[in-house]
Amino acid sequence: MGDATPPKEHLLIVLPLPPNQELLDGIKKKHPGITIKYHVVQFGVAFGHVPHDIPDEDFLEATILVTLGAISADVKLLKNIKLIHLFSAGADRLVNTPVWNETKIPITNSSGVHGPQISEWVILQILSNNHKQKTLLEWQQKHYWGKHTELGFIKDYVGQRLGVLGYGAIGRQTARICKGMGMDVIAYTASPRTTPESKKETGYIVPGTGDRDGLIPSAWYSGLDKAPLHNFLKQDIDVLLIAVPLTPQTRHFLGEEEFKILGKKNAFIVNIARGAIIKTEDLITAVKKPFKEGGLRGAALDVTEPEPLPADSELWDVENIVVTPHVSGLGDTYADRAFEILDINLTNLEKGKPLINLVSRKKGY
């Protein structure tokens, strides 16, 4: 008898994106024998629901599922699946579904694919606030050549401190840029990073970006409760980047107490993670408070609680709070990079190597 034939993989892709034939042909070429079925669904299909136009047979046949949100609620239909690759960076919306609680199917995510574009959005918001871009745009609309005295002097970011709450791909690329601007960077992670090896990023990072070896932060902090968080926030932070996943531990992680600490430096808050990490009303109060009383200098929110943000929410109208509709991660390279992670893991499966970007059910991300 000859060598055993490797198992044939059946790739089921369910995405709110049109198929990119070049990408799919590349996967077929690198992984001979793989079959691909592609279903385009509406954006926003909820986890745990099967879109009506996807036959049960397609789920049953699949050995690998690529999806942003459509996963069968009937785990019996997933019995042949050996890997689920999420097109999203977060897995929080999957946590309470049958596939999470009733199976042990490995789940990988697309964390890292939008590190460059989200970090650019972060820098845009930091600089726009600092250089009073909103005022300048208003002057332009009015055709008004304002006086220097009306604008005031701008304090540049040299010597100021960026605190990164969640030092993953986005935090590392933002740290890289801010370091180039002359800022000091400190990092906060859930678990301690006390050795050079533990500070390295093991997930996907866009080549030429980020801080793979974790050499940029001047100091590292860690923990899952308020005491270590407060110790981190007390380190004279000028700009706080929130980049942690939403878990039971991080839900409403930042509220009145935390903003009071940050108010001592009149910090600027940037949230690109999940809206529920912040207590919204407490943030509004802290931003509206005068600087002399410990008010925050402002906030930039690409995520809110809830989403979409209701038209009557006070957040829209608070001076020095910028709200964008969860768009910081949009980019024309998103799909290419997400499929690159899938391609890497297909190779790892074939060679019996560990998967990258593996989601931990215990941690929730």
Q: Where are the alpha helices (DSSP H) in 324-364?
A: 334-351
Is pLDDT above 70 for 149? yes
* Residue 354 Cα distances to 61, 97, 107, 202, 347, angstroms: 24, 25, 12, 11, 10
Is pLDDT above 60 for 242? yes
Give the whole-angstrom CA distance, residue 336 versus residue 357: 16
The answer to whether 79 and 235 are in contact (CB under 8 A) is no
Is pLDDT above 70 for 298? yes
Q: What number is the average pLDDT over the span 231-244?
A: 98
pTM above 0.85, yes or no: yes
Taking the chain, what is the end-to-end CA distance rounded to the nearest angstrom?
44
pLDDT at 6: 56
Residue with tokens 């010597």: 159
Which of 207, 204, 161 lies closest to 186 in space, CA to CA?
161
Residue 228 C-alpha from the chain's centroid: 22
Query: What pLDDT digit, counting tens, does each position of 323-347 carry?
Result: 999 999 999 999 999 999 999 999 9
pLDDT at 92: 83
What domains are defined for the chain?
A: 10-113+333-351 (3.40.50.720), 115-323 (3.40.50.720)
Is pLDDT above 80 for 72? yes
The answer to whether 253 and 227 are in contact (CB under 8 A) is no
Is pLDDT above 70 for 19? yes
Query: What pLDDT digit, counting tens, does each position of 175-223 carry?
Result: 999 999 999 999 999 999 999 999 999 999 999 999 999 999 999 999 9
Angle of helix 334-351 relative to helix 21-30, nearest 10 degrees, comes to 10
Please provide the average confidence, as pLDDT, over all residues in the chain. 94
DSSP-derived secondary structure letter, 167? -
Task: Name residue 182's amino acid.
Answer: G
pLDDT at 2: 47
Give the whole-angstrom CA distance, residue 207 versus residue 338: 14
DSSP-derived secondary structure letter, 73? S
Residue with tokens 């050996």: 82
Q: Is 162 helix (H, G, I), strand (E, B) or coil?
A: strand
β-bridge pairing 239-242 and 219-222:
unpaired
The answer to whether 305 and 275 are in contact (CB under 8 A) is yes
